[in-house]
Amino acid sequence: MARERHVDAEVDYQALAKRHLWLHFSRMGAYDRGGEVPIIVRGEGCRVWDDHGNRYLDALSALYCVNIGHGRRDIAQAGADQAGEIGFFTTWSYAHPRAIELAAKIAELAPADLNRVFFTSGGGESVETALKVVRQYHKLRGSPLKTKFIAREVAYHGTTLGALTATGVTGLRTPFEPFTPGGCHVPNTNLYRLPPGQGAETLAETVRARIEFEGPETVAAVIMEPVQNAGGCFVPPEGYWRQVREICDTYDVLLISDEVICSWGRLGEWFGAQRYDYRPDIITTAKGLTSGYAPMGAMIASDRVMEPFLEGNNSFVHGFTFGGHPMAAAVALANIAAMEDEGVLENVREHEADLRAMLDSLRDIPIVGDVRGAGYFHAIELVKDRETKASFSDEESESLLRGYLSQELYGRGLICRADDRGDPVVQFAPPLIAGPEEFEEMEAILRPVLEEASRRVGSR
Ligand X SMILES: Cc1ncc(COP(=O)(O)O)c(C=O)c1O
Using CB under 6 A, list all residues that contact ligand X.
122-124, 127, 156-158, 225, 229, 258, 260-261, 286
- List of residues 6+ apart from 437 with CB closer than 8 A: none
Q: How far is the CB of 446 from ligand X (least distance, A)?
A: 23
CB nearer to ligand X: give 156 or 271: 156
Q: How far is the CB of 261 from ligand X (least distance, A)?
A: 5
CB nearer to ligand X: give 168 or 366: 168
Taking CB atoms, the residue at the shortest distance from ligand X is 123
CB nearer to ligand X: give 229 or 459: 229
Q: How far is the CB of 436 from ligand X (least distance, A)?
A: 27
Which strands sit side by side in the sheet containing 297-302, from one edge to the other? 114-120, 297-302, 282-285, 254-258, 219-224, 148-152, 183-186
Other beta carbons within 10 angstroms of residue 69's beta carbon come to 23
Other beta carbons within 10 angstroms of residue 6's beta carbon come to 11
- 3-class secondary-structure state, position 439: helix
CB nearer to ligand X: give 234 or 240: 234
Q: How far is the CB of 354 from ligand X (least distance, A)?
A: 25
- 3-class secondary-structure state, position 216: helix
Distance between CA atoms of residues 369 and 381, nearest Å: 5
Instruction: Identify the CA nearest to 257 among candidates 238, 236, 231, 232.
Output: 236
Distance between CA atoms of residues 314 and 423, nearest Å: 46
CB nearer to ligand X: give 56 or 64: 64
- List of residues 6+ apart from 407 with CB closer than 8 A: none
Q: How far is the CB of 122 from ligand X (least distance, A)?
A: 3
Instruction: Identify the CA nearest to 57 among candidates 66, 72, 45.
Output: 45
CB nearer to ligand X: give 261 or 367: 261
CB nearer to ligand X: give 61 or 229: 229
- 3-class secondary-structure state, position 368: strand
Instruction: Identify the CA nearest to 36 among candidates 56, 54, 13.
Output: 13
Q: How far is the CB of 11 from ligand X (least distance, A)?
A: 28
